[in-house]
Chain A
């Protein structure tokens, strides 16, 4: 995969910027980065904009990350898009649930750019 179109879903604009910076530090060639503040907003963006990678927080207002992943699986064109959860949750249960719903990996906050690289590149087959 050469150029990657990414969608970052997090209610914190600071965290969205940090995730984007970490993806670039991981060596990903990003052709576009879109941002959404919650799952519902992300679904709206995905309706008109194809992406290759989604990174999503779990704990968000309006629509949380678990419901977002669940909804993604109901849309055929979005079902195959790899999703990596980014969470502050110390709990395994939310992570296990996200993976069972279709997420391909997870990163726990706080994280280093190396951890982003370690978790994101495999789901892209890189």
Chain B
């Protein structure tokens, strides 16, 4: 990872109108290329409890915050199955790993689409949270974009939460 001095970082200015379709496109491309799956639109009022698996990837530098994706166990299992080309019954902890890797690719793909930002933004390795009994607190002065997709009939949340 290339370190960069704080003085050299140009902080990207949050632009919801421009970035929301880019985040959506980034997710669609990852699923299209790596899983041969077209993500569908999904009702935004999807039950939040239907997402017990969360993968988080931290962003630091010109973009500072967290990208997360969330889905249920069955969806995560199906993702791993499609990525690996193996039957779902043979997928074990691969589903966690697959979810983290998908989050990582969406984050990398997204920042690569922001002109002049990618070079000054680093990604963390993914973290996986299992369960729904937790709370998140919005970053102080933060901005959030959330897109809800349908994956194999199940909701898939893709969120980007950034510091000002």
Interface residues of A (CB under 8 A from B): 11-15, 17-18, 21, 58-61, 64, 66, 87-94, 97, 108-112
Is residue B141 within 8 Å, beta carbon to beta carbon, of the partner chain? no
Contact status A97-B33, CB under 8 Å = no
Q: When the two chains form their complex, are residues B83 and A14 in contact, meaning their CB atoms are under 8 A apart?
A: yes
CB <8 Å contact, A91 and B101: no
Contact sample, A vs B, 9 pairs, CB 8 Å cutoff: A18-B34, A66-B1, A88-B107, A89-B108, A90-B108, A92-B119, A93-B2, A94-B2, A109-B34
Is A94 in contact with B34, judged by CB distance below 8 angstroms?
A: no
User: How many B residues, CB 8 Å from partner?
Assistant: 32
Task: Select from chain B the residue with minimum beta-carbon distance to A16.
Answer: B97
Q: Is there contact, CB below 8 Å, between B123 and A59?
A: yes
Asked if B2 contacts A97 (CB within 8 A), the reply is: yes
In the bound complex, CA of A110 to CA of B83 (Å): 11
Pairwise interchain contact B85-A13, C-beta atoms closer than 8 A: no
Whether B119 and A93, one on each chain, are in contact in the complex, defined by CB atoms closer than 8 angstroms, is yes
Q: Judging by beta carbons under 8 Å apart, are A111 and B84 in contact?
A: no
Query: Chain B 76-119, CB within 8 Å of chain A: the 1/0 string?
Result: 00001001110000000010011011001101111111100111
| Interface residue from A13, A21, A88, A94 paired with B1 (Cβ < 8 Å) | A94
The majority secondary structure among interface residues of chain B is helix
Residues of B near A94 (CB, < 8 A) are: 1-2
User: B85 to chain A: which residues have CB within 8 Å?
Assistant: 21
Choose one: B105, B110, B114; the contact of A109 (CB below 8 Å). B105
The CA of A21 and the CA of B110, in the complex, are separated in Å by 26
> Does any Cβ of A come within 8 Å of B39's Cβ?
no
Q: A13-B97, A18-B84, A91-B118 are contacts. A64–B1 as well, Cβ < 8 Å?
A: yes
B11: Cβ under 8 A from any A Cβ:
no
Q: Are A90 and B2 in contact (CB under 8 A)?
A: no
**How far, in whole Å, are A108 and B1 apart by their CA atoms in the complex?**
15
Q: Within the complex, what minimum Cβ distance (angstroms) separates B109 from chain A?
A: 7
Query: Would you call A91 and B121 a contact (CB within 8 A)?
Result: yes
**CB nearest to B101 among chain A residues:** A12
Which residues does chain B contribute within 8 Å of A61, judged by CB atoms?
Answer: 125
Q: Which residues of B contact A12 (CB under 8 A)?
A: 97, 100-101, 104
* Cα distance A35–B84 in the bound complex, in angstroms: 16
> Cβ of B125 and Cβ of A13 under 8 Å apart?
no
Q: Are B111 and A90 in contact (CB under 8 A)?
A: yes
